[in-house]
Structure 1
Amino acid sequence: MSNKKVDVAIVGAGLTGLTLAFYLEKAGKSVALIEKSDRVGGVINTIEEDGFVYEQGPNTGVIGSEGIVQLFDDLKGSCEHVTPNTESEERWILKGGKWVAIPNGLLKAIKTPLFSLKDKFRILGEPWRKKGTNPDESLADMVKRRMGQSYLDYAVDPFVSGIYAGDPIQLITRFAMPKLYRLEQDYGSFIKGAIKKKKEPKTALQKRVSREVFSAKGGLGKLIEGLENNISDEAFYCSSKNLSVQPQESGYNLQFSTFEEKKINIEADKVITTFGGEGLASVLPFIEKDWMKSLANTVYAKVVQVVVGYNKWNGRELKAFGGLVPSKENRDILGILFPSALFKSRCPEGGAVLSIFVGGMKKPKMIEKTEEEIKAIVMKEISDTLYCSDTPDLLRIHKYEKAIPQYDISTKDRLAAIDNIEQKYAGLYLAGNIKDGIGMADRVQQAWLLAKELTNN
Structure 2
Amino acid sequence: MEKDIVIIGAGLTGLTCAYYLNKRGKDFVVLEKNDRVGGVINTKEKDGFIYETGPNTGVLGSNESIDLFNDIKDSCKIEIADANVNKRYILKDDKWVSLPSGLISGISTKLFTFSDKLRLLGEPFRAKGNNQNESLSELVKRRMGKSFLDYAVDPFISGVYAGNPDLLITKFALPKLYNLEQNYGSFIYGSIKKAKHDKNNNIKNPSRKIFSVNGGLNNLTESLYMLSGKENFHTSVNDIKIKYINNKFVIEANNNTLSCNQLICTIPSCNLSNVLDFIEEKDLIPFNTLEYAPIISIAIGLKKWTGIDINGFGGLVPFKEKKNFLGVLFISSFLKNRAPEGSVLINVFIGGTRKKNLMKLSDDEIIEILKEEVAPIMGLNNFSPDLLNITRYEKSIPQYYVDSGCRFEKIKELEKKYKGLVIAGNLRDGIGMADRIKQGKNIADSIL
Indicate the TM-score class for this superposition, using the shorter chain for normalisation. over 0.9
Aligned to 1:316: 308
Compute the TM-score of the two structures, normalised by the length of structure 1.
Answer: 0.95
Distance apart, 1:451 and its partner CA: 1.1
Taking only the aligned residue pairs, the percentage that are identical comes to: 46
The answer to whether the aligner puts 1:448 opposite 2:441 as a matched pair is yes
* Partner SS for 2:188: helix
8 Å contact 2:31–2:235 — kept in the other structure?
yes
Where does the alignment leave 5 or more consecutive residues of structure 1 unmatched? 258-262
> Match for residue 262 of structure 2?
270
CA offsets, 1:383-434, max 9 Å, x none? 2211012310111111110010100112122112211111111100100000
8 Å contact kept, 1:311–1:350: yes
Comparing 160-169 with 302-311, greater Cα deviation is found at 302-311
Which residue identity is paired with 1:127? P
1:352-371 alignment to 2 at 5 Å? 352-371=344-363
Evaluate the alpha carbon distance shift between residue 289 and residue 70 of structure 1 in structure 2; reply closer, same or farther with a 3 A threshold. Answer: same
The alignment's TM-score, normalised by the length of structure 2, stands at 0.97
Is the aligned partner of 1:119 residue 2:116? Answer: yes
Encode CA deviations 1:32-66: one digit per residue, 9 max, x unaligned: 10000000000001101111000011010000001
AA at the equivalent of 1:393: D
Task: Please tell me whether the aligned partners of residues 69 and 77 of structure 2 are also in contact (alpha carbons under 8 angstroms).
Answer: yes
1:374 maps to: 366
Q: 1:76 to 1:326 in 2, by over 3 A?
A: same
Tell me the equivalent position of 1:52: 49
Q: 2:377 maps to what in 1?
A: 385
Identify which of 275, 285, 292 aligns with 1:300: 292
Matching of residue 209 in structure 1 with residue 202 in structure 2? no
Corresponding residue number in structure 2 for 1:200: 197
Q: Where does residue 7 of structure 1 map in the other structure?
A: 4
Which deviations, in whole Å up to 9, do the C-alpha atoms of 1:315-350 show, x marking residues without a partner? Answer: 112101000000111111000001111111111111
Q: Which of residues 265, 269, 279 is equivalent to 1:287?
A: 279
Q: Aligned to 2:335, which of 315, 330, 343? A: 343
In structure 1, distance between residues paired with 2:201 and 2:420? 32
Structure 1 SS opposite 2:240: strand
Q: 2:134: which partner in 1?
A: 137
Match of 2:165 in 1: 168
Q: Secondary structure at the match of 2:252?
A: strand
Query: Residue 38 of structure 1 aligns to a residue in which SS?
Result: coil
Partner of 2:417: 424
Deviation of the 1:450 alpha carbon: 1.3
Please list the CA deviations of residues 179-212 of structure 1 after superposition, one character each: whole Å capped at 9, or x if unmatched: 1001111111111111111122369996351111
**Partner in structure 1 of residue 245 of structure 2:** 248
1:229-250 Cα offsets, whole Å, 9 max, x none, are 1011221010001111122324
CA separation of 1:202/1:430 partners in 2, compared to 1, >3 Å: closer, same or farther? Answer: farther
Contact 1:66 1:205 in 2 (8 A): no
Query: Residues 241, 210 of structure 1: CA spacing in aligned structure 2 closer, same or farther, 3 A cutoff?
Result: same
Tell me: CA distance 1:204–1:131, structure 2 relative to 1, closer, same or farther (3 Å): closer
In structure 2, what residue type is equivalent to 1:364?
K
The runs of 4+ residues in structure 1 deviating greater than 3 Å are 201-206
CA distance in structure 2 between the partners assigned to 1:208 and 1:419 by the alignment: 28
Aligned counterparts of 1:278 and 1:84: Cα–Cα separation in 2: 33
SS in structure 1 at match of 2:81: coil
Q: Distance in 1 between matches of 2:301 and 2:282?
A: 47
Give the whole-Å Cα distance in 1 for the aligned partners of 2:39 and 2:3: 23
What secondary structure, in the 3-state scheme, does the structure 1 residue paired with 2:191 have?
A: helix
Matched residue type, 2:439: Q
**Contact 1:66/1:206 (CA < 8 Å) preserved in 2?**
no
2:405 corresponds to:
412
Greater mean alpha carbon deviation, residues 41-50 or residues 85-94: 85-94
Q: Does 1:72 align with 2:66?
A: no
What corresponds to 1:260 in structure 2? none
Alpha-carbon deviations, 1:237-284, whole Å to 9, x = none?
A: 100011111223243221211xxxxx3322211001002333211211
Measured after TM superposition, the shift of residue 358 of structure 1 is 0.4
Distance in 2 (CA, whole Å) between partners of 1:425 and 1:205 is 39
Alignment partners' CA distance in 1, 2:234 and 2:375: 46
Bigger mean CA deviation after superposition, 407-416 or 111-120: 407-416
**Contact 1:245-1:255 within 8 A present in 2 as well:** yes
Is 1:239 the counterpart of 2:231? The answer is no
Amino acid at match of 1:234: E
Taking structure 1 as reference, are residues 159 and 421 closer, same or farther at Cα in structure 2, changes over 3 Å only? same
Q: Secondary structure at the match of 1:68?
A: helix
Aligned alpha-carbon RMSD (Å):
1.4
Displacement of 1:88 in angstroms is 4.2
Contact 1:295 1:417 (C-alpha < 8 Å) held by counterparts: no
Supply the distance in 1 between the matched residues of 2:19 and 2:260 (Cα, whole angstroms): 17
For 1:148 and 1:22, locate their aligned partners in 2 and report how far apart those are by CA, in whole Å: 45
Instruction: From the superposition, tell whether residues 224 and 335 of structure 1 become closer, same or farther in structure 2 (CA, over 3 Å).
Output: same
Letter in 2 for 1:90: K
Q: What residue is the counterpart of 1:182 in the other structure?
A: 179
Q: 1:435 to 1:115 in 2, by over 3 A?
A: same
Matches within 5 A, 1:22-101: 22-101=19-98
Q: 1:80 to 1:202 in 2, by over 3 A?
A: farther
